[in-house]
């Protein structure tokens, strides 16, 4: 059975400000090859950076659920968001906790769903998608 590698990013120009999400989904084949299956970006109105990060994850999980993927690993460059989603840090912001609640419900759909922090240089493609969406809105 294949597993899926998801890179997400969210960002805003201003905090809050015009915001966007970027998602890259790759399939890790049983032979070890990695094949891109989806790239997505979208402006999401006026939001904070953290709201955009959460909304990118939620979009990716919804997509994976509709495709009936069961084994996913989500890579983000926001250490704060990863620690919040792994329940190492509390989520104090009410708006973020509402999105996080949806993510936690969605997470139960998968046999394996991990949130992993990566340095920004390992999340370049998702970041590029965010900036492309933001540039379209200007």
Ordered DSSP codes for 4-37: EEEEEEEEESSSSEEEEEEEEEEEE-TTS-EEEE
| Residue 50 to residue 95: CA distance in whole angstroms | 10
State CA 2 to chain mean position distance.
19
Average confidence score pLDDT of the chain: 96
| Cis preceding linkage at 16, omega within 30 | yes
Q: What is the dihedral of CA 23, 28, 32, 34, to 10 degrees?
A: -40
pTM to 2 decimal places = 0.95
Tokens describing residue 126: 């998702």
Angle at 127 between CA 122 and CA 132, to 5 degrees: 150
Q: State pLDDT tens for residues 104-136.
A: 999 999 999 999 999 999 999 999 999 999 998
pLDDT bin (cut points 50, 70, 90) of residue 138 is low
Domains and CATH numbers, the chain: 3-136 (3.30.420.10)
CB-based contacts of 103-107 (< 8 A; 24+ apart in sequence)? 103/54, 103/57, 103/58, 103/61, 106/58, 106/61, 106/62, 106/65, 107/61
Closest alpha carbon to 74 in 97, 106, 47, 101: 106
Under DSSP, the state recorded for 121 is G
């Amino acid at each position: 059975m294949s597993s899926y590698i998801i890179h997400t990013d969210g960002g805003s120009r201003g905090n809050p400000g015009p915001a966007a999400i970027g998602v890259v989904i790759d399939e890790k084949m049983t032979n070890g090859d990695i094949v891109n299956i989806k790239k997505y970006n979208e402006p999401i109105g006026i939001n904070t950076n953290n709201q955009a990060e959460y909304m990118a994850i939620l979009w990716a999980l919804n997509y994976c659920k509709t495709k009936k993927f069961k084994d996913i690993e989500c890579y983000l460059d926001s250490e704060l968001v990863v620690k919040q989603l792994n329940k190492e840090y509390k989520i104090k912001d009410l708006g973020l906790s509402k999105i996080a609640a949806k993510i936690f419900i969605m997470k139960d759909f998968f046999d394996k769903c991990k949130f992993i922090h990566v340095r920004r240089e390992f999340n370049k493609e998702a970041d590029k998608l965010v900036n492309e969406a933001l540039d379209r809105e200007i």
